[in-house]
Amino acid sequence: MTEKKRVGFIGLGLMGSRMARNILKAGFPLTVWNRTREKMKPLLEAGAEGADSPREVAERSDVVIDIVTDSPDVEEVLLGPQGVIHGARPGLIVIDMSTISPIVTRRIAEKLAEKGVRMLDAPVSGGIIGAEKGTLSIMVGGDYETFKECLPIFEAMGKTITYCGGHGMGQMVKAVNQILVSMTMLAVAEALMFASKAGLDLETTLKAVSGGAAGSWQLTNNGARLLRGDLEPGFKVEHLLKDLRIIMEVAREINMPLPGTALAYQLYRSLMAEGLGEKGTQAVIKVYEKLAGAPLLRGEE
């Protein structure tokens, strides 16, 4: 029987903490690090070991996973003064599961390769629910043989695991995902606001349209949340806005107009200005309520 790889995990936020727990449940020896050390405690109690720096995580691991907020954060934990690169030995595999710029991804992969370290970019979709249940969609870029070697680790965290091509291609596919996510969420909010203003019963309407061609994950999940008045995050506004910013930067690089995505970016920026960055992406309903001059849920009038 092949011995399980020693896994290191950096970044224990809403997503990372749940993903790391599933790796531990799958029987992988796990070492964790988080900038806020208090967030390490539940995993340490569950059997993981703690490290004092990303460098120390690398020293103890065969595979190091990170999932942090943005490109500068990834560069810091991987290449910074106490970064993974300084504890790495040839043959180490780094899996960056953050959503960042594919341009930055390729630059980091080149720097790690100089040390004999292999890198995969593997952003995820599925939110907190998918992270909790181990059913994430994982989009992987990098060397195919390295991808196959890490498949058992991916299978501990996700259900739909797709090899997308070379370095940065996982991030490119995630960009496609986020275009769809953001614009579908706008459509859900706009349609439900229309239904409310038209005097329709929202639960009946949601049931009627969910089973037809308009059905989608966003409609079923975030549509239902809106009907409960639930704006708590499965995925935060501030994080989607960051993703949309990256997408717009890439679009400029490849000379691709994205008018719908640009609209989504501006509407989500308005939510940030309202102090709603910590809410879930379904909070875009607040924009439509202002435009309509009425609340979605008529009992709130």
- 189-235 pLDDT tens trace: 999 999 999 999 999 999 999 999 999 999 999 999 999 999 999 89
| CB-based burial label for 3 (10 Å; 0-12, 13-18, 19+) | exposed
Euclidean distance between CA atoms 35 and 83, whole angstroms: 12
Euclidean distance between CA atoms 240 and 264, whole angstroms: 10
Residue with tokens 């949340």: 225
Q: Which of the four pLDDT bands, split at 50, 70 and 90, describes residue 298?
A: confident
Euclidean distance between CA atoms 275 and 269, whole angstroms: 10
Rg (CA), the chain: 20
- Give mean pLDDT, residues 160-164: 99
Six-digit token pair at 60? Answer: 């103890």
Pairing of strands 136-142, 118-121: antiparallel
Six-digit token pair at 59? Answer: 């020293």
User: Considering 174, 236, 279, 286, which one is annotated as catalytic?
Assistant: 174
Active site residue 279: no
44 and 69 Cβ atoms separated by less than 8 Å: no
DSSP-derived letter for residue 83 is S
Euclidean distance between CA atoms 233 and 103, whole angstroms: 28
226 and 296 Cβ atoms separated by less than 8 Å: yes
Q: Which of the four pLDDT bands, split at 50, 70 and 90, describes residue 301?
A: low
Q: Which domains does the chain have, with CATH numbers?
A: 7-167 (3.40.50.720), 173-300 (1.10.1040.10)
Q: Cα angle vertex 188, ends 182, 193, to 5°? A: 130
5-35 pLDDT, tens per residue? 999 999 999 999 999 999 999 999 999 999 9
